[in-house]
A and B are shown apart, each in its own frame.
Chain A
Amino acid sequence: MARAITTQKKVMWTALAWAFGLTMFFPILWTFRTSFKTEAAAISDPPVWFFFDWTLENYVDVQARSNYPKALMNSIIISVGSTFLGILIAVPAAWSMAFVPGRKTKDVLLWMLSTKMLPAVGVLYPLVLLAKWLGVMDSRILLVVVLMLINLPIIVWMLYTYFREIPGEILEAARMDGAGLKAEILYVLTPMALPGIASTVLLNIILAWNEAFWTILLTTVNAAPLTSFSAPEGLFYAKLSAASMMAIAPILVMGWFSQKQLVRGLTFGAVK
């Protein structure tokens, strides 16, 4: 029997959902608005909400003072590069854990997850020293590798849960049909897990894109991505906002278009 949903209840829940949504969106809205103000208007107290002189000068300013295309390029290379490198390593790892689990598989999975609890600062010095010794400070390759390592546990975990949903008999059938390990993963497992792999890729691109700690600390000029692009220099709220907007715009647009995949990815396996 369907539950009776009264109009009153509907209105209430809708209002509540909107309230939550707007609260979460508020900082972005605030930044968006501030980015079109003059510096003076940006710090005025009480703040002016919408009726100020909208201006694009911050964007022009930021553009003139720094190299947006270069930072954008770095961001894309670092986030996409680290994600694909991670997938390349995580697919075989997740395959073995999902289909030929050993006695310690569960422990390994938990241990991998536990590395995410390690405070990043803890490995800062070793990493910086190592990078300097290798002469790769402020290089894209360093960031690709570091961010890949940081997000690898999540990629493996996500792929592991997707792979677990695939019936093992199909892989056994592939083995009987003469598929070697490579063919089995390439022609059978990967195509079947494609929706899962896609949402893992999306989520990790976003995570890598937004990763600020390492990207700011390990780069100066050459490999600096958009996160360090929007790192503050002095009290210029309006320009900072403009820079932030420019930094998050690409990922915001990507997120918008891949909403369905992302939601499916995050709730996958919860309902069956």
Chain B
Amino acid sequence: MLRLIAGLEDTSSGHINIDGNDARVLPPAKRGLAMAFQSYALYPHMSVRKNIAFPMRMAGIDEATQKAKIDAAATALNLTDYLDRKLGQLSGGQRQRVAIGRAIVREPSAFLFDEPLSNLDAALRVGMRLEIMEHHKKLQTTMVYVTHDQVEAMTMADKIVVLQAGGIKQVGSPLELYHAPRNKFVAGFIGSPKMNLIEGAEAAKHNATTIGIRPEHLGVSKTEGLWKGRVGVAEHLGSDTFIHVHDTGLMDMMTVRITGDIEARHGDTIYLTPDMDQLHRFDAQGLRIA
């Protein structure tokens, strides 16, 4: 989809409007968009400075303006010391910054990001995520950001469009998607750990084919509760504890998220009680029942 918006692929049906104009007939360069690729797609034979300057050079902007813009972008992206280096001498995060720099200097009407952080290691990803959001706030420019990482989607987006196999599953703010997923796919995709989806008799009690309850909306007790199960693996994160519960008779493995540290040994019997207000109901087609 990003490639269609960018104009790198031809549109067979539908409309693409950029700033109110039909963009379908425009070549990529004329759409006023900037794209950051997963592979960075920088020009390996050029220095950092030349990479950032390239779009301006193509636009025929004079040298002095180019230099001013490069310096501004480099300062914003902490690249000032690297401007004359070759790309081979940069780390992954720095390369991604160069790619963003190249996008910024064009002053586009929208940025397109194609999984820009997926090639970075976890720590760097969080850092770059914050940086991109920081730039977003400063530039106040629309960003279309494609990601498979639901944490990135939740933390960065004003509006999320969940796509599955080319079809739109839901459009909404992160919290809308979290609190009222329109179907099972969105319910399972948004939130970590994943929502527990229960089918069968227990669901029928609530007049639904499937009911969903998020791990954080389950109460835990060692003595009493609605559902009974056996503790499997417990993951202690310090701030939270994830308990994987077996033998509930409801689904293969249920996940519970408890705030703080709780003692749960492998094999212990455990009782779970869902917060009924937070129960999600889905029909046979997997659609939400209001």
Contact = CB atoms under 8 A, between A and B. Distances in A.
Interface string A162-182: 000001011011111111100
Contacts of B8: 172, 175-176
Given A192-B44, A192-B45, A177 B39 contact: no
Contacts of B59: 178
A173 B35 contact: yes
A177 B102 contact: yes
B43 interface: yes
A169 B41 contact: yes
B194 interface: no
B39 A176 contact: no
B33 interface: yes
A189 to B, nearest CB: 10
B188 to A, nearest CB: 31
A188 interface: yes
Interface residues of A, number: 18
B28 A175 contact: yes
Contact of A179 (B39, B42, B44, B58): B58
B44 A177 contact: no
A188 B41 CA distance: 11
A171 to B, nearest CB: 9
A174 B27 CA distance: 12
Most buried by B among A167, A173, A183, A194: A173
Most buried by B among A176, A180, A191, A194: A176
A177 B37 contact: no
B244 interface: no
B1 to A, nearest CB: 15
A175 B37 CA distance: 13
A170 B45 contact: no
B54 A174 contact: yes
B41 A178 contact: no
B55 interface: yes
A170 B42 contact: yes
A188 B6 CA distance: 19
A176 B34 contact: yes
B124 interface: no
Nearest to A183: B58
Contacts of A194: 45
B29 interface: yes
A180 B28 CA distance: 10
Contacts, number: 59
Interface in B41-87: 41-46, 54-55, 58-59
Nearest to A194: B45
Nearest to B43: A188
Contacts of A169: 37, 39, 41
Nearest to A193: B45
Contact of B58 (A167, A172, A178): A178
A175 B3 CA distance: 12
B169 interface: no
Contacts of B236: none
Contact of A167 (B6, B28, B29, B41): B41
B33 A176 contact: yes
B39 A167 contact: yes
A169 B112 CA distance: 14
Contact of A175 (B29, B44, B46): B29
Nearest to B31: A176
Contacts of B217: none
B159 interface: no
Given A169-B37, A183-B58, A176 B43 contact: no
A271 to B, nearest CB: 20
Most buried by B among A179, A180, A194: A179
B106 interface: yes
A214 B33 CA distance: 53
A177 B102 CA distance: 8
Nearest to A184: B58
B37 A173 contact: yes
Contacts of B42: 170, 173
Given A170-B42, A176-B35, 14 more contacts: A167-B39, A167-B41, A169-B37, A170-B44, A172-B8, A172-B28, A172-B35, A173-B41, A175-B28, A177-B55, A177-B102, A178-B59, A179-B29, A180-B58
Smallest CB-CB A-B distances: 9 pairs:
A178-B58, A177-B55, A173-B41, A178-B29, A169-B41, A191-B45, A175-B28, A170-B41, A176-B28
9 contacts: A170-B42, A170-B43, A170-B44, A172-B8, A173-B37, A176-B6, A176-B34, A178-B55, A183-B58
